[in-house]
């Protein structure tokens, strides 16, 4: 029962990919062969690759782990040798030259230096694995940040006042051929794509609890939320301008 609950509360990469694929089909039906449709297709490919890349980031790097275990075994062996060397004089003739106190001190000093080097090597390998995974995660998250800005560029000139009958543009004004309904759907599709971009970013820290990566994901989510809020302000202005109410989301919008 607990496993089923945890499974339902875990972000599923397959569901995200399916949602993006469905969104692309909806966009293609409403705006066939449009730039937004192609951008959603690229987002779909990014989502599919994110599913695989996030799993790879979550898995341990076996070569580094194996080297760490070897160093750990060497550290434990050095500790055993040091303890045995200190305890041996209790059952050995202390008059022997090999068991004199200066020799014991020198042996303990050399053993401690070896243990220190082994400990430093273990720490380096553990931090190396984290750094490698972090670099891969941050590179992928930066790609999603760029996608957010590209989505924002697609809706940048989609202003609500351009669909009004009394709007007069200039020679350099962007051409507006959408109806109010089409503009409403276009803006809503952009908002959904931004939301899904944030969900893709969250995949990279699902199995990788790294503070720097989590902070980068939070930045992408804040960016996508802020841009989506700006889009919904446009939608509200559009609905007020054409005398309709703000649309509510339904499970199967078209």
pLDDT in tens, the chain (254 residues): 555 544 556 778 889 999 999 999 999 999 998 999 999 999 999 999 988 888 888 887 777 777 777 777 776 776 676 666 666 655 555 455 545 556 656 666 666 676 677 677 777 777 778 888 889 899 999 999 999 999 999 988 888 877 666 666 666 666 777 788 888 999 999 999 999 999 999 999 888 888 899 999 999 999 999 999 999 998 998 888 776 444 444 444 45
Whether the Cβ atoms of residue 174 and residue 157 lie closer than 8 Å to each other: yes
Both structure tokens of 100:
């004199």
CA distance 161 to 165: 9
Residue-range domain boundaries for the chain: 34-85+102-163+179-242
Residue 68 is predicted with a pLDDT of: 72
CA distance 165 to 83: 90
Residue 127 is predicted with a pLDDT of: 77
CA distance 96 to 130: 50
Residue 250 is predicted with a pLDDT of: 45
Residue 249 is predicted with a pLDDT of: 46
Residue 223 is predicted with a pLDDT of: 95
Residue 237 is predicted with a pLDDT of: 85
CA distance 89 to 101: 10
How many CA atoms are closer than 13 Å to the CA of 68, on its beta-carbon side?
Answer: 14
State the burial class of residue 213 (Cβ atoms within 10 Å of its Cβ: 0-12, 13-18, 19+): buried
């Amino acid at each position: 029962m607990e496993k089923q609950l945890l499974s339902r509360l875990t972000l599923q990469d397959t569901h995200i990919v399916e949602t993006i694929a469905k969104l692309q089909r909806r966009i293609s039906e409403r705006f066939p062969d449009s730039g937004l449709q192609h951008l959603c297709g690229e987002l779909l490919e990014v989502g599919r690759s994110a599913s695989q890349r996030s799993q790879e980031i979550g898995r341990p790097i076996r070569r580094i782990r194996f080297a760490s275990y070897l160093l750990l075994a060497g550290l434990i062996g050095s500790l055993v040798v040091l303890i045995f060397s200190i305890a041996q004089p209790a059952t050995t003739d202390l008059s022997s030259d090999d068991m004199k106190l200066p020799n014991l001190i020198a042996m303990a000093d050399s053993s401690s230096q070896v243990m220190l080097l082994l400990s430093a090597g273990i720490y380096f390998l553990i931090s190396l694995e984290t750094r490698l995974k972090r670099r891969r995660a941050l590179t992928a998250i930066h790609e999603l940040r760029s996608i957010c800005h590209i989505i924002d560029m697609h809706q940048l000139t989609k202003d609500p006042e351009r669909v009004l009958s009394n709007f007069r543009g200039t020679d350099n004004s962007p051409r507006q051929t959408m109806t109010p309904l089409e503009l409403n759907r276009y803006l809503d599709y952009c908002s959904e794509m931004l939301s899904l971009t944030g969900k893709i970013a969250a995949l990279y820290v699902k199995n990788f609890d790294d503070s720097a990566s989590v902070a980068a994901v939070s930045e992408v989510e804040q960016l996508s939320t802020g841009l989506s809020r700006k889009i919904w302000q446009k939608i509200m202005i559009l609905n007020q301008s054409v005398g309709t109410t703000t649309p509510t989301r339904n499970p199967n919008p078209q």
